[in-house]
């Protein structure tokens, strides 16, 4: 079952101990919701602006961050973006997955991959070419990346 999009949490940013890139993949097509919230992250070279939204999974959310110059302009638009899946570790040891999106210059180009976020995850039928990332516990979900043209199947759990 595909999950719903939700506004990102409006709480203060939680300090992160570590960010680990799990996969940098080609491009996906994704719609940025109108209620994506604006934020910025301090970097040594200056603040990085982003808009953030989330897709729900059992027990929580997978956050998406759209970066680039004036990222708020992408609200309510379908974008083609370079995609990176990351794992974030908090000071208490809890881990979360999130997706970084960097819109490409050629928005008329075709995406190379499909991305789906689903609740559950153990019910996903693995197919050749798909890459699955199970969300760390206590969340129950999966991020699925598949080549464009392939189907992302679920298995009936009954």
Least confident of 21-30, 64-73, 148-157: 148-157
Spatial separation of the C-alpha atoms in residues 57 and 95, rounded to whole Å: 15
| Cβ–Cβ under 8 Å, residues 61 and 48 | no
Instruction: Find tokens 């079952």 and name the residue.
Output: 1
pLDDT of residue 149: 85
pLDDT of residue 124: 62
pLDDT per position as a tens digit, 73-106: 999 999 999 999 999 998 888 999 999 999 998 9
| Cβ–Cβ under 8 Å, residues 71 and 79 | no
Looking at beta carbons, which pairs linking 119-124 to residues 24 or more positions away fall under 8 Å? Answer: 119/1, 119/3, 119/56, 119/57, 119/58, 120/1, 120/58, 120/154, 120/157, 121/57, 123/154, 123/155, 123/156, 123/157, 124/152, 124/153, 124/154, 124/155
pLDDT band at 153 (very low <50, low <70, confident <90, very high): low
pLDDT band at 13 (very low <50, low <70, confident <90, very high): low
Q: Which of 51, 20, 22 is nearest to 35 (CA)?
A: 51
User: Is it the case that residue 125 has pLDDT exceeding 70?
Assistant: no
| Cβ–Cβ under 8 Å, residues 135 and 97 | yes
pLDDT of residue 9: 46
Task: Locate the domains of the chain by residue range.
Answer: 5-154
Instruction: Find tokens 């019910």 and name the residue.
Output: 123
| Cβ–Cβ under 8 Å, residues 48 and 41 | yes
pLDDT per position as a tens digit, 23-46: 998 999 999 999 999 998 887 887
pLDDT of residue 113: 94
pLDDT band at 3 (very low <50, low <70, confident <90, very high): very low
pLDDT of residue 10: 41
| Cβ–Cβ under 8 Å, residues 144 and 132 | yes
Residues 6 or more apart whose Cβ sits within 8 Å of residue 108: none
User: Is it the case that residue 158 has pLDDT exceeding 50?
Assistant: no
Q: Which of 79, 57, 56, 55 is nearest to 66 (CA)?
A: 79
């Amino acid at each position: 079952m595909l999950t719903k999009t939700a506004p990102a949490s409006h709480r203060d940013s939680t300090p992160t101990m570590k960010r680990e890139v799990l996969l940098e993949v080609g491009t996906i097509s994704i719609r940025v919701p109108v209620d994506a919230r604006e934020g910025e992250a301090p970097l040594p070279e200056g603040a990085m602006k982003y808009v953030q939204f989330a897709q729900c999974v059992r027990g929580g959310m997978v956050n998406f961050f759209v970066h680039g110059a004036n990222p708020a302009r992408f609200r309510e638009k379908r974008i083609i973006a370079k995609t990176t899946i990351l794992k974030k570790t908090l000071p208490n040891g809890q881990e979360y997955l999130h997706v970084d999106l960097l819109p490409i210059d050629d928005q008329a180009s075709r995406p190379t991959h499909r991305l789906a976020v689903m609740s559950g995850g153990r019910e996903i039928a693995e197919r050749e070419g798909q890459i699955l990332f199970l969300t760390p516990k206590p969340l129950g979900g999966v991020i699925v990346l598949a080549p464009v043209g392939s189907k992302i199947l679920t298995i009936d759990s009954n």
